[in-house]
Amino acid sequence: MKRILLLFGLALSILGLKAQEDDLLSLLGEEEETIDYTTASFKTNRVVNLHSLESTAGGVLDVKISHRFGTLNGGTYELFGLDNASIRIGADFGVSDRITIGLGRSSFQKTYDGFVKYKFLRQSTGKRNMPITAALLASTAVQTLKWQNPDRENYFSSRLYYTYQFILGRKFSEGLTLQLSPTVVHRNLVETSVESNDVLALGAAGRIKLSKRITLNAEYIYVLPDQLAPGFRNSFSLGFDIETGGHVFQLHFTNSTSMIEKGFVTETNENWLDGGIHFGFNISRVFTVVKPTITE
C-alpha cells in the first residue's frame, strides 16, 4: 500500500512540474515582440556635404571640423590646391534620437548657418515593419561679407538663405545604403535677373561598406534647368569614411567649395572634367553630454 501511495505521489509531482513547464513556455511565447531599428545606415549624419539618413543620438554633441582645399588644377604653384582652404566649424546636438539641431560658421563667404532635422520615420523590423527612413530638414544661412556697395541702401534680409529638404532612404543590407534628398533653396537676393530666387534640386547619395570601419560614399545634386546663371554646375562628391573609436574621418573629392546647402546646391562652378576638384575632409568627434533617459 505504501508503495502505491509513493508511486501515486511521484506521478502527481511529475505532472505538476510538467504543468509548470507548459505555463512558463506559454508565457515566453506570449512575450511582446520588440521593434528592431536599423542603425548605421551611414557612419555619420553627413554623406559628404549632404545630410544623411542618420541623426545625432539623443544627448550627444557631434563636433565637426571641415576643410575644402583649392582645386587640383591649380598645379604645382598652388600645390594642387593645398595653399588654399575653406573651413567650416560646427556642432550638432541630438535633442532626442529623432531631433537634431546644429550651428556652424564657414570661412567661405563668412557664413553662419543653423538647422533643425526631424526624423519622422525610422527603418525597422519586428513589431513595427518600416522599410524606409525619412526626415525633414530646415536650415538658415546668413552671409556676412562686407557690402560690395556700402553707399547704396542695403538690407539685412538680402543676406539670408533658407533650405528645406526631404530625406528618404533605405539600408538595403549591411553593405549598401541609398537615399534621395529633394531640396528647395530660397535666396532673398540673386545677382542677375535670369536666376531664380527659389531653386529646386534633387540630391542622390549612397554608401558601400568596404570593411568594418571603412565605407565608400558618393553624392550628386541635380539642379533643375533654367534656375541658375550660366557657368554653374551640379555638385558631385566622392570619398571614404574611416571610423576610429569616437572619431569619424571623411576624406573626399568634390567640385563644391561650400559645405552648406545654399552653397553646394546653388554656387558650385567647378568642373570635374577640367580638374576643378577640391580635396577635403570632415572630422567628426562625438561627446555624450546628457545621459539619455528614453531611447526610441
- Reported as a single tens digit per residue, the pLDDT across 129-172 is 999 999 999 999 999 998 888 888 888 888 999 999 999 999 99
CA angle 20, 32, 26 (to 5 degrees): 20
- As a whole number, the mean pLDDT across the chain is 88
Would residue 293 count as lying in a domain? Answer: no
User: Rounded CA gap, 164 and 115, in Å?
Assistant: 10
CATH number, domain containing residue 156: 2.40.160.40
Would residue 231 count as lying in a domain? Answer: yes
pLDDT at site 32? 74
pLDDT at site 246? 75
Alpha helices in the chain (DSSP H): 2-29, 261-266
Would residue 296 count as lying in a domain? Answer: no
Number of domains making up the chain: 1
pLDDT at site 191? 84
Domain membership of residue 57 as a residue range: 37-288
- Reported as a single tens digit per residue, the pLDDT across 16-57 is 444 444 454 444 455 678 988 988 899 999 999 999 999 999
Would residue 295 count as lying in a domain? Answer: no
Global confidence as pTM? 0.84
Would residue 31 count as lying in a domain? Answer: no
Would residue 96 count as lying in a domain? Answer: yes
Per-residue pLDDT averaged across 219-237, rounded? 94
Asked if 142 and 113 count as a contact pair (C-beta separation under 8 A), the reply is yes
Would residue 2 count as lying in a domain? Answer: no
pLDDT at 2 over 70: no
What is the Cα gyration radius of the chain? 27
Would residue 199 count as lying in a domain? Answer: yes
